[in-house]
Amino acid sequence: MNTINNSYMEENLFLYEDVIINTINKFNINKNNIKSILKYFPKNILNNIDFQNEKEKVLKKYVKILNKYDYIVIIAVGGSILSIKAILSLIEEHNFYFDKVNFSKIILIDNQDQIILHKTLLKIIEKDIAIITISKSNISIEVFSMVNYIMNLYSDTNNLPLWIHIGQSSNENINQYIRKDHQEISSILEQNIISENKISLDLNSTKNSVSTVKEIFSLFNSKFCTIKLFPDEFIEYDETVTGRFSVFSTPSLLIIMLLGYNTNEFYYGAQLAYNDFLTNYLKINNFIRDIAITITSLYHNLNNIYLSNNNSLYQFNIWKNILYIESLGKKEDLYISLNSLTINCFQHNYIEYFINSKNKTIIHIFISNDIDDYDNINNNSKYIVNNQFFAKNQILKIQSVSIKTIIQTLKDNSCPYILSKIPINNLQSIGYNFAESIIKVFIIGYLLNINIFEQNIIDFVKKEIFKKILY
């Protein structure tokens, strides 16, 4: 089986080398232990080709309908929209040279800033649009308020947008499923991984039955909406994923299908990542070191700076940062820096900060395979012809020089950094990188006795907002 050639290209961690080695020994981070831990990894988070084929049959009719619209507006908040942003950016980064897909028809909305929302919608107000909302719990009031806002803009026309909602209507919700799974792990390992604290709310809607989905929208209409709203179509959300872990779930699959790509590659990449953790001994050594660096950062209050050379890696690192913060920030004796920055290589104003905080900072520099391949741009792309080809080449050369200058500056000032190459060759490599991050955070959580899936406080806040607005 093939693998993805991600690699540490260079690192300079002499300030923390001893403590990283101590972390590896203290937490028994080795090949055999990783294999043992992965026996308990819930692979349904990554889904599989069988899931993809079955789900694709259901989604094909929606893709056919949605492709008829001028614009597709995707509305979500939290981890779900971050993973979609990253997927779209990574695909677009690779696709830029080949011009296969019109990305401009997909618009992502993830906040309630009225000025931004209004400016975005004014560009498409006279067009035929379809709205896709994503809320597994069906109680993301922020999402539905934005739908209400859009519908009001269209209320004077005879052309209200199509509304497709992706949510869960089954009786078994994600938290119950995952907690049950981890309780079994807990009994095997005799570890108290799972908190038994339950949040009890007198909301019938938390039962998540088909009828309560209807009740939720009815309540929303009666208490909040100026126009009576119900989704035109309801797509069932997967039971086994949520939020920041939703990368390989129904919403992502639908987006990839809308772009006209073969979804098999995406899921195959995830499977490759899982297999590499088990059998690729060269890559396992890199995984071990990366896991040890993360645990060292947690216990020694280190800031981690994520520096990328293009927007797609920037968006990917935003998702990854949230994945780590939400999954691991659950113990009082651990420190996850909210001062961690995710920036691109042109923000030179941070260099002085890097140097002055070098005793408390690790800088992670991520580059794609494009950074050193600027002479190999596809001349046939419609985006790159004549002078445009030269101009694009110049931009990539500037990116390359910028990264190299930053690295040399870090070296000269003895700043700890890691330079990693993340190829963006195809959907397989994109699926691989998402899966690798999810598997790593699972292993770290396991080693630190943290249930990375538990989110009682997040669920509580969602339900409290829902109750206070609609009751």
Q: Which two tokens stand for residue 456?
A: 């009682």
pTM summary value: 0.83
Euclidean distance between CA atoms 234 and 186, whole angstroms = 36
pLDDT of residue 341: 58
Question: ∠ CA 51-454-77 to the nearest 5 degrees?
Answer: 70
pLDDT of residue 350: 75
Domain boundaries, the chain: 7-42+265-447, 43-263+456-470
pLDDT of residue 439: 96
Answer whether 415's CB lies under 8 Å from 358's CB. Answer: yes
> Which CATH architecture is the domain 7-42+265-447 placed in?
3-Layer(aba) Sandwich (3.40)
Same fold, 7-42+265-447 and 43-263+456-470: yes
- What lies within 8 Å, CB to CB, of 161 at 6+ separation is 73, 128, 129, 130, 131, 150, 151, 154
Pairing outcome for strands 129-134 and 342-344: unpaired
- Provide the phi-psi class of 107: left if phi over 0, else alpha when psi is between -120 and 50, else beta: beta
Q: Tell me the torsion sign for CA atoms 61, 64, 70, 71.
A: positive
Helix (H, G, I), strand (E, B) or coil at 415: coil
Euclidean distance between CA atoms 355 and 330, whole angstroms = 30
Euclidean distance between CA atoms 133 and 236, whole angstroms = 12
Query: Mean pLDDT, consecutive 10-residue segments, the chain of 471 residues?
Result: 59 86 94 93 83 85 91 89 91 62 81 81 86 84 84 78 82 33 34 28 35 65 68 79 84 90 90 92 88 90 82 88 85 59 63 81 79 48 52 71 84 89 85 95 92 76 69 62
pLDDT of residue 187: 35
Residue 462's beta-bridge partner residues? none
196 CA to centre of own chain: 28
Helix (H, G, I), strand (E, B) or coil at 195: coil
pLDDT of residue 5: 58
- What lies within 8 Å, CB to CB, of 8 at 6+ separation is 286, 289, 418, 419, 420
For the chain, give the longest Cα–Cα distance. Answer: 68
pLDDT of residue 360: 84
* Length of the chain as a residue count: 471
Euclidean distance between CA atoms 281 and 302, whole angstroms = 28
Euclidean distance between CA atoms 125 and 108, whole angstroms = 15
CATH classification code of 43-263+456-470: 3.40.50.10490
- CB count, 10 Å around CB of 280? 17
